Structure formats: structure tokens, C-alpha cells
Amino acid sequence: MRIPASIPAILGLILLATPPARTAVAQPKPAEQSLRVFVPPPLEWNRRTFVTNPALVQTPYDLARANGNLTFGMSASQVAAALPGLPSDLDWNNLRTAREYAADVRYFWLPLKDLPAWYNDLQGCTGTESYAAFLFVRRHLFRISFRLIPDAACPSVSDAAAGLFARYVGLSTDLVLSVRYRSTPAEVVDITDPTETSLIPIRWRMSGT
């Protein structure tokens, strides 16, 4: 049987038109990164006054629960009694002066790893030099400053700082003002008594201490 001369030509054209089999491996889709969202307490719009008010009632007890049983206004000896491993005679007179404040502000500090109420719940690493400063004015606790300092074993403390910050964002700003900022290379989370208005804007700078 004779094959028409045109058939091989047609087959050749079909083969040429057929796309080559895929040899390249499909590029993997980039992994979806989940971002943390900080959710402050809800507000409620007041139709009469045209301002917002807190929609939830929170008390210092809510702050104490998130804050290792500490609340603002406690004396140094009361704070020391609530923390592990501090001398019982700690009081205003034997505290150091915090030089970044113009007012008479005094403090003591503890390594973060010695504060289980906070350290045990941290997500992410902290440098070994990280610590918390407890600051007092007129003999009363008004600020706790968590200073997370990275090191070779923990080059980024952002996750831990965000976790600390998140503990306080859900509390009303009538109870506590929480601020997160960088003081390179440290990351700082300050929680401050909202009634100490003149001291609120003052930030810690790592080079200044």
C-alpha cells in the first residue's frame, strides 16, 4: 500500500504545532505571612456629646491580672514583695535616680528572665541583657519599662516585644497607657499610669543610660 506523500508532511506540521512537554517545575507560591493585629477595647459613639467613650468597664483588677498582680500607685516595698528574689527592705530611699526625667523619679530593675509573670508568656526570644525597670515618682509606681536588647543568640526581639505589648493593648487607656518603640538596638515596651500626664511623653534612650 502506498502512503500519500503529503501525510508525512502533515504529521510533521502537527508535531511542530504541539507544545513541548513541560519540563520546568512550577514555582512554589510564596508562603502567606500572618500579621498580628492589636485590638484595643471597643469604643462607643455618644450621639449627644459627639465623642467616643469606652464600651467596656475595666478596673485596676483587670490591669493587675495582666501585670503580675502589680498596679500603679504601689510603693517600692509593695512591688518588691510581689516580685521574686528582691530584698524585703527595698524602699524609695534606696532606689536609683532615673536621669532621663526632670522630676525626682527613681527605679530598680530586674532581668526579664527573673520575672516569670512576664517571661514565661513571651513568644519569641529575648537577649540575655533584657530587663524591666520599675519606675516610681512620689514613692508610687507609675511606669514599668520592658527593655529588650538583642544579642548574638537572639538577633530579633520583635516578636517578644509585640507579645508584651499585646498584653496591655486590650486594656483601657484609662487604666494603662502602653507604648512600643525602638531605641536602637533595643525594643522598648512602656506601660504607664495614665494619670501621670507630665511623665507620659518621656522615653528611654539606650545611649543615655
Residue 193 · residue 143 · CB < 8 Å: yes
To the nearest whole angstrom, how small is the minimum distance from the Cβ of residue 122 to another protein? 17
Q: Which is nearer to another protein, 80 or 176 (CB)?
A: 176
Q: Taking CB under 8 A as the criterion, which residues in 69-88 touch another protein?
A: none
In the bound complex, what is the minimum distance in angstroms from residue 97's beta carbon to another protein? 23
Count the alpha carbons within 13 Å of 157 in the hemisphere toward its beta carbon: 29
Q: Hey, what amino acid is at 80?
A: A
Q: How far apart are CA 117 and CA 161, in angstroms?
A: 15
Within 113-152, which residues bind another protein (CB under 8 A)?
none
Q: Which is nearer to another protein, 16 or 35 (CB)?
A: 35
The two most distant CA atoms of the chain are separated, in Å, by: 115
How many residues bind another protein (CB under 8 A)? The answer is 33
Does 179 sit near another protein (CB under 8 A)? yes
Burial of 61 per CB tally in 10 Å (0-12, 13-18, 19+): exposed
Q: Which residue has the cell 532621663?
A: 100
8 A C-beta contact, residue 19 and residue 149: no
CA nearest to 186, candidates 141, 115, 133: 133
By beta-carbon proximity to another protein, the closer residue of 68 and 194 is: 194
Q: Which of 37, 57, 102, 153 binds another protein (CB under 8 A)?
A: 37
- Which listed residue (31, 102, 152, 153) binds another protein by CB under 8 A? 31
Using alpha carbons only, give the angle 74, 75, 79 rounded to the nearest 5 degrees: 75
* Nearest CB to another protein, comparing residues 3 and 35: 35
Instruction: Please identify which residue in 23, 33, 120, 207 interacts with another protein, judged by CB under 8 A.
Output: 33
Candidates 59, 173, 197, 198: give the one binding another protein (CB under 8 A). 173
In the complex, the smallest distance separating the C-beta of residue 70 from another protein, rounded to whole angstroms, is 20
203 sits near another protein (criterion: CB under 8 A): yes
Site for another protein contains 10 (CB under 8 A): no
| Closest C-alpha to 93, from 110, 103, 106, 102 | 106
